Structure 1
Amino acid sequence: MIYSKKHNFLFLKGVKVAGTSVEITLSKICGNKDIITPIANIDERTRVQANIRHAQNYGPKKSDIKDFIQWLLQVPTEQITSRQAPKGIVNNHMPLKRIYKKLDELHPEIKQANIFAVIRSPYEQILSRVNHKVNFKGYKTSGETMHASQGRLRQELDNYIAKLRQRNLETYRSKNFQIYDSSFDESIHVQFIRFENLKDELNYALTRIGVKADVELPFTKKGLQSSNDLFKEVATHEQIKIINDYHKNDFIRFGYGMINPT
């Protein structure tokens, strides 16, 4: 999550929507008073090595953050997960309502910020999620491409569906639905940027608020290229129906069509 006082925007970081790539991109235009939350150590080091602003102003003492960044640059890659960034009052996947609650007293002007977030087809998010589940342990200590076989994707999809079915269908809300939820205040408008047009729509969102920058997106957490076609190859008809039922709110709110399970 990023709150830029300099440019008056709040970026809500969803899961499996290229959020880290967007955060690194936005960090390039942030000022020294902006709030930038930490990302995975391997990606934070990439951000620092590229001379881009790292995590800052999210709660810990500046000296604690400086000490962590110095360690991050010196530690061998195979040990990079042995220490975590200092904890703050906000974190990267925090829902909008909690961000307001945590920052309202210190930064009351945050409620006037332009809000944007990235959306993606639920099918592609789920594929990315299960691929991530298979490979992320290795990625955290190497930064290498994450690409699971279809057999492993099916195995992890089975696990995902099993956990999903333990949830109450009537009250279930996906992680991104919760992060982006603004129903607590009808005056709030969240601008959604579609993953499939990410660069163009991110540039448009920034131009709309007066930021003149043609952003280029780094390719972090590199994985398989998800698609509805690949999802149909991996998922069974029954699994598609279950996902359609549980993610109905996402399809409706974010404007993505459902696959016919029959």
Structure 2
Amino acid sequence: MIVLHGYRLVYVRTRKTASTSLEIALSRLAGPDDIVTALSPRDEALRREAGGRPPQNHFHPGLVPGPGPVAQGIAGRVRFHNHMPARHIRAELGDQWDRYVTFTVERSPYDKVTSLYFHQYRDPSDRPPIDYFIETGEFADALNWPLYTDTGSRVIVDHVLRDEALDDGFDQLVAAGLPDLDLPRAKAHFRPPHSHYRDVLTSAARRAIEAVYAPEFEMHGYTW
């Protein structure tokens, strides 16, 4: 997640939605007082290459971090962390949340699960069948609904952009004062090219996804 005070903008990071690319791009706009949360070591290297700001202002006040990385979400140490739910960010920011433009990105659950499958099992020689991935429950790790809703399942961000139409979504943010962004595709190489979810997901996998991701289907109207 990122908070850009100068632009009065809060980005709530979701899973499997080009979030690393977007966070790297937004960190290029960050000033010294803005909040930038930590990425993985590999992605931090990509951020450095892209000229983005490293993690900053994400610890609780007064904490001086050591030289090593700190795991995300450790109580009492990390105040803001990656994939932090919007309701927790709102609690930390107080009235700034209401005064800032808040946004996140969502993507078809079919596509998210397919992307997560190839990300988890990158070696084709060691990749289990998709139905095994479903049976383990790992496929539910891309459920983003709890990240941008409150405990009553109400969406609490101003904008939910579509990963499939990010350019159109960014027009809304540009109108709110954000500069145009050049997005690096940080993790696109994990998924084989031309691997459409319809060619990967079985009937059983489709039914499981539609059950677990039901709120996202209902809210955003994604179809097969």
- Pick one of 153, 158, 163 that aligns with 2:137: 163
C-alpha RMSD over aligned residues? 3.0
Q: How far did 1:161 drift?
A: 3.4
**1:34-73 Cα shifts (integer Å, max 9, x gaps):** 11110111111221233321111111568537x45xxxxx
- Bigger-Rg structure (1/2): 1
Letter in 1 for 2:175: R
Distance across 1 between alignment mates of 2:162 and 2:153:
23
Does 2:112 align with 1:125? yes
Cα pair distance change 1:253/1:84, threshold 3 Å: same
Q: Report the residue type matching 1:154 in the other structure.
A: P
The number of residues matched between the two structures is: 218
CA distance in 1, matches of 2:110, 2:120: 15
> 1:126–1:185: structure 2 CA closer, same or farther, 3 Å change rule?
closer
1:8 aligns with 2:8: yes
CA distance in 2, matches of 1:189, 1:150: 41
Aligned partner of 2:65: which letter?
Answer: D
Structure 2 residue identity aligned to 1:56:
Q
What residue number does 1:22 align with?
Answer: 22
Q: Return the TM-score normalized by structure 1.
A: 0.72
Q: Aligned partners of 2:107 and 2:155: how far apart in 1?
A: 24
The alpha-carbon deviation at position 85 of structure 1 amounts to 6.0
C-alpha distance in 2 between matches for 1:150 and 1:256: 32
TM-fit CA distance, 1:180? 1.0
Structure 2 alignment gaps of length 5 or more: none
CA deviations on 1:222-254 (whole Å, 9 max, x unpaired) are 322688x73222222122122212222111112
Q: Residue in 1 aligned with 2:86? A: 96
Q: What are the ranges of 5 or more consecutive residues in structure 1 without an aligned counterpart?
A: 69-82, 136-147, 166-171
Rounded Cα–Cα distance in structure 2 between residues aligned with 1:124 and 1:176: 13
Query: Is 2:44 the partner of 1:50?
Result: no
The alignment status of 1:198 with 2:173, answered yes or no, reads no
Instruction: Output the CA distance in 2 between the equivalents of 1:221 and 1:164.
Output: 19
Q: Distance in 2 between matches of 1:208 and 1:180?
A: 22
Q: 1:19 to 1:174 in 2, by over 3 A?
A: closer
For the structure 1 residues 238 and 160, does the alpha-carbon distance in structure 2 shift closer, same or farther, using more than 3 Å as the test? closer
Contact 1:128-1:226 within 8 A present in 2 as well:
no
What SS class does the counterpart of residue 6 from structure 1 fall into? coil
